[in-house]
Structure 1
């Protein structure tokens, strides 16, 4: 009863703002197809760290301008989406690196919508040892009861020596990501005329704390509603306590709890938009592959359940096609993990030689959360992390109704765009 009342309140509030959301300036008229470039988990590399004998690998970063050029040169692309992870888990979280990505993205001649990944904030605390410095954070030493940080010259307990921004503190690194990429809520990156609505300015007034989530945006384009939510990999920050301390801190628990609740409210707002506008479909973008066990037990996915259950409920209620885009697990995959009977297709895992769908019992991610049977849903995992660099060419045609195949679903069709020269 309370939830129904909240949804009604959100819908009423959204009805006031629908004009600004629905009148987005785009390259094509409403009702016609729109084509986007979707990419993520790039550029990946490795930070130099002399105490560990670790050399730098910046090859993907050096290729990024040319990679962006392949998107710029495609006249059919109107917008771009980055699904998160602007560097790898072997790169330090620094102000300079974030700024360098923000700078290179300015060369994109299309509007770019970006949702943060775990590597640029939630996992910045991670490090295992001096010889395995990870993202330049630190790790708890039970013998001394202190945290050893990755310092410029080796392990250190002096926070002034840390190689990563604020010693990899996730909250501080998320604040830095917001400063670099979301300083003007509602304004996209790259260039172009796409206008989006940010949760920073369109939050539910009953939850003023939601104003901090400037990275959550939504927009309507050609009879399709798009929405991004900050859901990072690594168990939604995180089943593992920050810095490997014995018990997760209250700050860690509060971060996950508050952000997840805000994500759910933002999803509700997007679906309310879709209902008011009689949208033909909804596209949800987040970084985490919320169905990927990554070699761990199913308990490692528990923190995603509030988002999954809301996606399932709102998709069922909406009754029209819903497409979810994510990165995180790196291997291209096309499936419906909310249906026990849906097929799964994807690329071969170079580490095992098996198809990516074989990672799951019965070749089906549904087995990781066997609670739903939602037929009007589809999910695409965007390839990332390895060369050749690749983007996904996604076309949304509100007048189409394709059968579910390897490359089509409802109003959507797509093709992988590997760049062999990169």
Structure 2
């Protein structure tokens, strides 16, 4: 892995197999026995900072004998190596929507097992401005656009929701939304069936297969090679706790599902 220091301190980050194209995201690549994490230094705007990842990706590495490797672009669960991409907190404004297209072009040309987006697929609705541009947060247009981006991925694309997608929609601009209605829409659109998003699908085991947690389709598990991955619906904005009694009840139920 090669890490390149950006020329603009306010434009963070890291480029590795992505041909030194600097993008606003967090990236993680893993191989059995080796873990490399590259996190953004900021949000790409002077004076702004990036909040922690909106969703949680958990993985356990078990160093067992690996199967034979597959051909590039057709990497299977028995591969001797495991390379994947973890991205998140993008695209926000109009500029990042263009950068996200460039990022996905590079990801598509890389030999990866899958891609995970760890949430905040659009800007915090309170921070959005017409000057920054981009699709209005929480809008139906944003829901449809981001789903299309995920489905266009050459690799299996696993998505975990962030607070921007639903919990913060009560304060979105230019208009507000009911967070519970947006959460229901998110689950209906992005978490159908037992496969990932993307052009090349990957089988997932969803927590919703257990009747007690039927609502939590976004919590998923999959195994690739000797690595088990789990996505859990844990978000920013205090994990939706402390705003209203109804929100607190939602948090309690979701938290119970996450730790089950």
> Does the TM-score normalized on the shorter chain lie above 0.5?
yes
Alpha-carbon offset, residue 63 of structure 1: 2.9
Question: Which shifted more, 175-184 or 226-235?
Answer: 175-184
2:241 aligned with 1:238: yes
Taking structure 2 as the reference length, the TM-score comes to 0.64
Larger relative helix fraction = 1
Alpha-carbon offset, residue 117 of structure 1: 0.2
- Cα distance in 2 for partners of 1:125, 1:180 equals 20
Alpha-carbon offset, residue 191 of structure 1: 2.1
Correspondence for 2:228: 225
Alpha-carbon offset, residue 176 of structure 1: 1.1
What SS does the aligned partner of 1:212 have?
A: coil
Correspondence for 1:263: 258
Correspondence for 2:217: 214
What SS does the aligned partner of 1:189 have?
A: coil
Q: Alpha-carbon deviations, 1:99-130, whole Å to 9, x = none?
A: 0011122221000111000000111112xxxx
Alignment of 1:292-331 (within 5 A): none
What SS does the aligned partner of 2:169 have?
A: coil
Moved over 4 A (4+): none
> Aligned match of 1:200 in 188, 193, 208?
208
2:164 aligned with 1:119: yes
What SS does the aligned partner of 1:78 have?
A: coil
Correspondence for 1:32: 80
Contact 1:95 1:176 in 2 (8 A): no
CA RMSD of aligned residues (A): 1.9
- Cα distance in 2 for partners of 1:30, 1:255 equals 39
Contact 2:77 2:223 in 1 (8 A): no
Q: Alpha-carbon deviations, 1:32-56, whole Å to 9, x = none?
A: 22110110000012xxxxxxxxxxx
- Cα distance in 1 for partners of 2:192, 2:201 equals 17
Quickly say closer, same or farther: Cα 1:183–1:193, change in 2 above 3 A.
closer
Correspondence for 1:105: 150
Correspondence for 1:160: none
- Cα distance in 2 for partners of 1:176, 1:73 equals 31
- Cα distance in 2 for partners of 1:40, 1:174 equals 18
Runs of 5+ unmatched residues, structure 1: 1-24, 46-57, 127-134, 137-149, 151-162, 242-247, 266-422
Correspondence for 2:66: none
Alpha-carbon offset, residue 28 of structure 1: 3.2
**Largest Rg, 1 or 2:** 1
What SS does the aligned partner of 2:187 have?
A: helix
Q: Alpha-carbon deviations, 1:381-405, whole Å to 9, x = none?
A: xxxxxxxxxxxxxxxxxxxxxxxxx
- Cα distance in 2 for partners of 1:64, 1:29 equals 27
What SS does the aligned partner of 1:200 have?
A: helix
Runs of 5+ unmatched residues, structure 2: 1-69, 129-136
Contact 1:65 1:107 in 2 (8 A): no
What SS does the aligned partner of 1:218 have?
A: strand
Taking structure 1 as the reference length, the TM-score comes to 0.40
Contact 1:88 1:119 in 2 (8 A): yes
Alpha-carbon offset, residue 64 of structure 1: 2.1
